[in-house]
């Protein structure tokens, strides 16, 4: 498992940050979240929190997070889009020039410079191990489903897309791809290096993936999903599917929010990072509890409780492994966000949202 956290796993990510942005109260006092590649938390600055702490145990992920925030603070929207690779016509020389002008910690600069040079200054959003895995899977998807599979992206109306999916999409060949996606051994080999949390959903991984993709194909316009674009093309071709950080208004509000936010990027376990705090209003745990030992995962809310303010919210995710935490002193409010969860552009996640119960606040 240590090998998994010693490399750059994510540069685009596997979560739709629009969900956390919808849940986060505006002008929160303190937001604590898993850094990931920075894309998870950058848009949350648009909600103008007073403090934000981004934490991760992976040094490469934190270096990339600080890079993202440096781009937000020191460049404009167009330069950000060009550097990250959202503009397909972006020149590598321009990317190198933007990087050279950024003010970064020396250690980050050395590591990132060597990393980008080793990848010939290609688009950073595709450089993570997860994104590279999706690029390989896209080749398999293309081999099995061909033009007929990619044809589902031609539609901008859900009813037309659904009709194509039911009558012309190569469903049998697609299910062969799902058989690969649903193989935990394959995912362990391609990405997780033995750290993939075991499936505890009560259904097979294959059945879970069939349900996920059926939902995506029948409830969302697929060109609006960055995840599906990656899985079919190995790159982002439709701006409708760009993540929230690409929205010009969100980017500008995040940049303004950064000017008034006390931002910290910390290498630490998120529970250790919360220890000693007393007024955290919002915690974005990602799927970290899924990787914890069973007892620790169940105790995650209780570990966080002393650090939380009244009515603080905690958002956690699980993929094929869902943790059911001890909710004493918390109220499960997931149902309040079902519409937002249904719009999440990957549908990979079982999302849980909890609110601290003021009357049961732990005294210190």
Domains of the chain: 2-126+244-360 (3.40.50.150), 145-237 (no CATH)
State the pLDDT confidence band at 276, using cuts at 50, 70 and 90.
confident
Task: Please check the confidence at residue 42 and state whether its pLDDT lies above 50.
Answer: yes
pLDDT of residue 203: 92
Name beta bridge partners: 352: 316
Per DSSP, 38 falls in state T
Task: Please check the confidence at residue 363 and state whether its pLDDT lies above 50.
Answer: no
* pLDDT tens, position by position, 232-262: 999 999 999 999 999 999 999 999 999 999 9
d(CA 225, CA 14): 11
* pLDDT tens, position by position, 260-275: 999 999 999 999 999 9
Task: Please check the confidence at residue 25 and state whether its pLDDT lies above 60.
Answer: yes
* pLDDT tens, position by position, 336-359: 999 999 999 999 999 999 999 976
Task: Please check the confidence at residue 143 and state whether its pLDDT lies above 60.
Answer: yes
Q: Which residue in 123, 71, 62, 69 sits closest to 102, CA to CA?
A: 71
Phi, psi of 20 (to 5 degrees): -60, -35
Mean pLDDT, residues 290-308:
96
Mean pLDDT, residues 55-72:
97
State the pLDDT confidence band at 362, using cuts at 50, 70 and 90.
very low
Neighbours of 319 (CB within 10 A): 20
Beta carbons within 8 Å of 176's beta carbon, 6+ residues apart: 144
Q: Which residue in 48, 76, 108 sits closest to 262, CA to CA?
A: 48
Whole-prediction pTM: 0.93
Per DSSP, 39 falls in state T
Residues above pLDDT 90, as percent of the chain:
86
pLDDT of residue 161: 98
Neighbours of 179 (CB within 10 A): 14
- Residue 291: CA atoms inside 13 Å, Cβ hemisphere, count? 16
d(CA 124, CA 113): 12
Task: Please check the confidence at residue 189 and state whether its pLDDT lies above 70.
Answer: no
Task: Please check the confidence at residue 90 and state whether its pLDDT lies above 60.
Answer: yes
pLDDT of residue 190: 52
pLDDT of residue 192: 55
β-bridge pairing 280-284 and 330-332: unpaired
Task: Please check the confidence at residue 2 and state whether its pLDDT lies above 80.
Answer: no
């Amino acid at each position: 498992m240590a090998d998994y956290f010693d490399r750059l796993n994510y540069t685009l990510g596997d979560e739709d940050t629009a969900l956390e942005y919808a849940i986060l109260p505006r002008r929160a006092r303190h937001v604590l979240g898993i850094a990931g590649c920075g894309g998870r938390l950058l848009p949350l600055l648009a909600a103008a929190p007073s403090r934000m702490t981004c934490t991760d145990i992976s040094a490469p992920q934190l270096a990339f997070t600080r890079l993202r925030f440096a781009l937000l603070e020191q460049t404009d929207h167009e330069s950000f889009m060009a550097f990250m690779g959202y503009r397909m016509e972006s020149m590598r020389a321009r990317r190198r020039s933007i990087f050279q002008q950024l003010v970064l910690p020396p250690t980050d600069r050395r590591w990132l410079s060597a990393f980008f040079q080793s990848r010939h200054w290609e688009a950073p959003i595709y450089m993570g191990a997860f994104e590279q895995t999706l690029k390989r899977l896209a080749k398999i998807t293309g081999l099995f489903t061909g033009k007929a599979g990619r044809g589902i992206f031609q539609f901008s109306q859900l009813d037309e897309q659904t009709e194509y999916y039911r009558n012309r999409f190569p469903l049998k060949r697609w299910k062969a791809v799902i058989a690969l996606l649903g193989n935990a051994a394959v995912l362990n080999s391609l990405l997780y290096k033995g750290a993939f949390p075991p499936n505890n959903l009560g259904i097979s991984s294959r059945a879970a993936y069939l349900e996920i993709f059926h939902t995506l194909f029948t409830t969302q316009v697929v060109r609006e999903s960055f995840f599906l674009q990656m899985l079919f093309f190995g790159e982002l071709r439709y701006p409708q599917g760009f993540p929230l950080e690409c929205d010009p208004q969100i980017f500008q509000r995040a940049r303004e929010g950064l000017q008034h936010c006390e931002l910290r990027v910390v290498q630490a376990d998120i529970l250790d990072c919360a220890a000693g705090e007393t007024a955290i209003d919002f915690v974005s745990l990602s799927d970290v509890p899924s990787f914890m030992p069973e007892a620790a995962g169940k105790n995650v809310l209780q570990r966080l409780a002393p650090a939380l303010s009244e009515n603080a919210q905690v958002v956690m995710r699980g993929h094929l492994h869902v943790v059911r935490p001890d909710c004493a002193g918390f109220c499960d409010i997931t149902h309040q966000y079902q519409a937002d969860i249904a719009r999440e552009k990957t549908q990979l996640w079982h999302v849980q949202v909890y609110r601290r119960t003021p009357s049961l606040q732990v005294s210190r």
